[in-house]
Structure 1
Amino acid sequence: MDHCWDFVEVLGRDTSISVFTLLDDPADLVRLSSVSRSWRRFVVANGFSKSLCLTRWPELSNFTRVVEVGGSVEAEAANAESSSSAEWENLEREHRIYAYLSYCIDSPMGKRDCILVAISASSTDNYPDESIDNTLQPGERVHMRPSYWSSKGEKDPCVSEMLTYQLCSKLSVIDEIRIQPFRAYFQYGYPIYSAKSVRFRMGWSSLHQEQGTGASKHAAGHSADDYIWTYVSPEFQMAQENILQSFKLPRPAICIGGVVQIELMGRVQRQEMDDQYYICVCHVQVIGHPLAPAFDVDINNSAGDLVLKHFPVARGCKIPPEGMPSEEPRESSGWHAIAARIRQLGTVRNHAIIGALLGNLPVDDFDDDNGFDGEPGP
């Protein structure tokens, strides 16, 4: 013990950085930072936690800055007097935030359907009887009536459709998306109006919050310029089966902004009465877990500013603390409003993290009746 030596000092900065960057588990970096003060300073100063987080989830590189809400105002004022102190405090803050963010993303929290409300469909055949709101209800019948969304008919089977949803949090981890095509059990042969393939996009709306809600959301839908996408999935083949089909993403994706869009590509089934192709969806689920209330997002489209906000006091909380905005549901009615509220109040399992390793923090417990015209077409 009298001859202990620090390999970081022996190997030098460049070689040590090469060794540390080989680590691919954020928890290992947290453990390293607890070995000694010099190792912690080395981990923090070189931003290893942030670099690894951005490498594993590239979507997070869209954030222009990070802030910690509820910190010590006195400490910030004191650090403002010294540029070096302010710079070090910024590095410490980024280390804490990205280390805890990585933990939350990897945490085996209870997965659930994260959809809050439906925003819009690119087309709807018979509104409101066949609106996108029906896809929030499980099963192909609600109160003994068919429940599904139907596109408008097309002569060209290559025409795509888009279904867009708002999630319960502006920052969520999404693992898979489930879609159930609709089987027209009231038509001869029980045809299934599925798409040929699907693709998913995640991001946020560039429109104001009040736009795209209410009656306007059931119009022809939004244009591609109305959204900013930070994640686009590969294309998945869809089976022409009346089951809830699961589409597992290659890796958990971070949905920044809380908007998920499902692109239904290609049409399979033609309706006999009008000789046009339709796509009909019975039910949709976006499976994952929200990162609220510990994390939130501020979006300023005009300034190009995307801010990741961390609420340390919200770790393990079920109700957003004072000063933290809560997610309010968009305009909805009837059973859809009740279902949306239930989703919003879904509990987040209490969990623990070794906060002492993240900056000397204490350990803390870290589904409307719809009309029916008897067919999915006109």
Structure 2
Amino acid sequence: MEMGVEDTGGWDFLDWVGPDTSTCIFQLLDDPADLARAAAVSRSWRRFVIENEFCKSLCRRICPEVANFTRTVVVTRTSPRASSESSRDADFRSRERDHVVYSYLGGALVSANPSMNCILHCIGASSTDNFPEETVDNTLEPRDRVNHRASYWSSGGQDDTDVPESLTYRLNSDLCIIDEVRIQPFKAYFQPDNPIYSAKAVRIRMGHSKLPPGKESFVTDENENQKAIADENYMWTYTSPEFPMLQENVLQTFKLPRRVLCIGGVVKFELLGRMQKQATDDKYYICVCHAQAMGRSLSPEFMVDTSDPADYSILKYLPGASNLVIEDILNGDAKDSEWHSLVARHRQMRHLAMVNMLLGPVHFMDEDDDVGGVTDDDMYM
């Protein structure tokens, strides 16, 4: 799509083939970079791409969850100037802003950056047999033995093999692209015949909490947090197919049918069906020693508005946020309060993810807590 006015003897390609055919051609583009190049050909091409919202449409094709966004906001470090433009100009400026935001979002959605485990904390489990020894927090540990003791989560026992269980986790960002999930059933090496307590299948849900900011709770040594994972506390924006599990003590990988944009940073592993009966009580259990949600965080360049716990529909773009250093955050003034609070939130979560990986689970700070408690060295990790 390099044909401009000069290549057609003074005719613009868009005028030459007409708007309907041009629209059909542009809608065939499936790479955000191609749309960006097309918008750079000429002013008429740029206006055509912006007015038809091709970048937004492409993002929705890549990740249908993008349709949950009803508005975009560009958060800058300086206060926006008041405008006296007409309503027609204002509509174009709004579409132009969307074009910029969705252009960068599209690039982030198809990025080839390597995946990592995005799980930050355990929110809770549907049941736990012996708490806290068999807590869901154990599933953050990649090993099935720690300090010569077994490390795993165990459900409560059931007579019915169809009773499901679930494990719910907080991801390291409010916006994550998840490609695959991994789960390892636990092999009870301390029981006769070394039984493996796998589920029959696993299904994944992703979404966000409906609780007010700062009110989300996590598993502690005193509380297994079963009430916090009730479905009425969450809005699920994606549900995967059911993936059959093997009764094998290996980290099993389940590739999602497509990359999924998790809006709100919550993922639930639904464990469907039981396969193994425990000899001592003649009941069926599910046990997991490790779980992962593999993907990439889109923060700090992209955040969501969490002021309304029932509505995560505002997509915020922070140009240049990934290039900030600690001095930019600590020395911010009132006019950039939103910018700095959003970036500080991301860096706090990144810091906790690093500590969690190195030292084990840590308690999550509420938004009202003092971000200054994180040291300069911590935030450079």
Specify the TM-score bucket, using the shorter chain as the normaliser: 0.7 to 0.9
Give per-residue Cα distances to partners, 1:308-365, cap 9 Å, x unaligned. Answer: 11000214558795242414459x9994346999xx9797xxxxxxxxxxxxxxxxxx
> Could you tell me which of 112, 118, 126 is aligned with 1:114?
118
CA distance in 1, matches of 2:312, 2:172: 22
Q: In 2, distance between residues paired with 1:204 and 1:170?
A: 8
- In structure 1, what is the equivalent of residue 317 of structure 2? 310
The within-5 A match list for 1:123-138 is 123-138=127-142
The corresponding residue for 1:57 is 63
Secondary structure of 1:196 counterpart: strand
Alignment of 1:203-242 (within 5 A): 203-208=207-212, 209-213=214-218, 214=220, 215-219=222-226, 222-242=229-249
Alignment partners' CA distance in 2, 1:339 and 1:212: 9
Which residue in 1 is equivalent to 2:301?
294
Instruction: Report the 3-state secondary structure (helix = DSSP H, G, I; strand = E; otherwise coil) of the residue aligned with 1:218.
Output: coil
CA positional deviation for 1:300? 5.0
Whether 1:98 and 2:102 are equivalent positions in the alignment is yes
Which residue of structure 1 aligns with residue 367 of structure 2?
none
1:158 to 162, 173, 192: 162
Q: 1:189 offset after TM fit, Å?
A: 0.3
Task: Give CA-to-partner distance per residue, 1:15-46, whole Å, 9 cap, x none.
Answer: 21122112122211111011111111111111
CA contact (8 A) 2:209 2:216 kept: no
TM-score by length of 2: 0.83
Residue of structure 1 equivalent to 2:290: 283
- Structure 2: 5+ residue stretches without partners: 1-5, 330-339, 365-373
SS at match of 1:129: coil
- 2:25 matched to which residue of 1? 19
SS at match of 1:299: coil
Give the equivalent residue in structure 2 for 1:33: 39
- Residue in structure 2 matched with residue 77 of structure 1 by the alignment: 82
Which of 275, 281, 284 does residue 274 from structure 1 map onto? 281
Give, in angstroms, the shift of residue 105 of structure 1: 1.3
Q: Residue deviations 1:249-290, cap 9 Å, x none? A: 111111000000000000000000000000000001111010
- Structure 1 letter corresponding to 2:345: S
Please report the TM-score for the alignment, with normalisation by the length of structure 1: 0.84
Distance in 1, matches of 2:325 and 2:146, equals 31
Distance 1:159 1:234 in 2: 18
Deviation at 1:71, TM superposition (A): 6.6
Q: Distance in 2 between matches of 1:92 and 1:26?
A: 16
> How big is the shift at 1:86?
1.7
Compute the displacement of 1:56 (Å): 1.8
8 Å CA contact 1:131–1:218 kept in 2: the answer is no
Q: Cα 1:22–1:219, aligned 2, differ >3 Å: closer, same or farther? A: closer
1:47 to 48, 53, 56: 53
Is the Cα–Cα contact under 8 Å of residues 185 and 248 in structure 2 kept in the other structure?
A: yes
Q: Measured at CA, do residues 303 and 182 of structure 1 come closer, stay the same or move farther in structure 2, by a change above 3 Å?
A: closer
Shift of 1:220: 5.2
Query: 2:185 is matched with which residue?
Result: 181
**Aligned partner of 2:70: which letter?**
T
Distance in 1, Cα, partners of 2:107 & 2:291: 28
Name the CA distance, whole Å, in 2 between partners of 1:14 and 1:219: 55
Whole-angstrom distance in 2 between the partners of 1:241 and 1:346: 40
Aligned 8 A contact 1:293 1:318 in 2: no
User: Taking structure 1 as reference, are residues 305 and 280 closer, same or farther at Cα in structure 2, changes over 3 Å only?
Assistant: closer
Q: Measure how far apart 1:72 and its partner are.
A: 5.9
Find 1:336's aligned residue among 360, 363, 370.
360
Relative to structure 1, the CA distance from residue 180 to residue 51 in structure 2 (aligned partners, 3 Å threshold; closer, same or farther) is same
Q: Unmatched 5+ residue regions in structure 1?
A: 348-378
Q: d(CA) in 2 for partners of 1:67 and 1:257?
A: 17
The equivalent position to 2:13 in structure 1, one of 7, 22, 25, is 7
Q: Give the structure with the larger helix fraction.
A: 2
CA contact (8 A) 1:267 1:278 kept: yes
The total of aligned residue pairs comes to: 343
Q: Letter of the aligned partner of 1:326 in structure 2?
A: R
CA RMSD, 1 decimal = 2.7
Deviates more, 1:310-319 or 1:268-277: 310-319
Equivalent residue for 1:362? none
Q: In structure 2, the residue corresponding to 1:77 is in which secondary structure?
A: coil
SS in 2 for 1:326: helix
Change (3 A) 1:28 1:123: same
Distance in 1 (CA, whole Å) between partners of 2:290 and 2:13 is 57
8 Å CA contact 1:121–1:220 kept in 2: the answer is: no
Aligned to 1:145: 149
Supply the distance in 1 between the matched residues of 2:45 and 2:168 (Cα, whole angstroms).
Answer: 46
Q: Note closer, same or farther for the CA distance 1:225–1:219 as it changes in structure 2 (3 Å cut).
A: closer
SS of 2:299's equivalent in the other structure is: coil
C-alpha contact (below 8 Å) 2:137/2:361 kept by paired residues: no
Q: Could you tell me whether the CA contact under 8 Å between 2:171 and 2:267 is conserved in 1?
A: yes
The worse-fitting range, judged by mean Cα deviation, of 186-195 and 18-27 is 18-27
1:197 is matched with which residue?
201
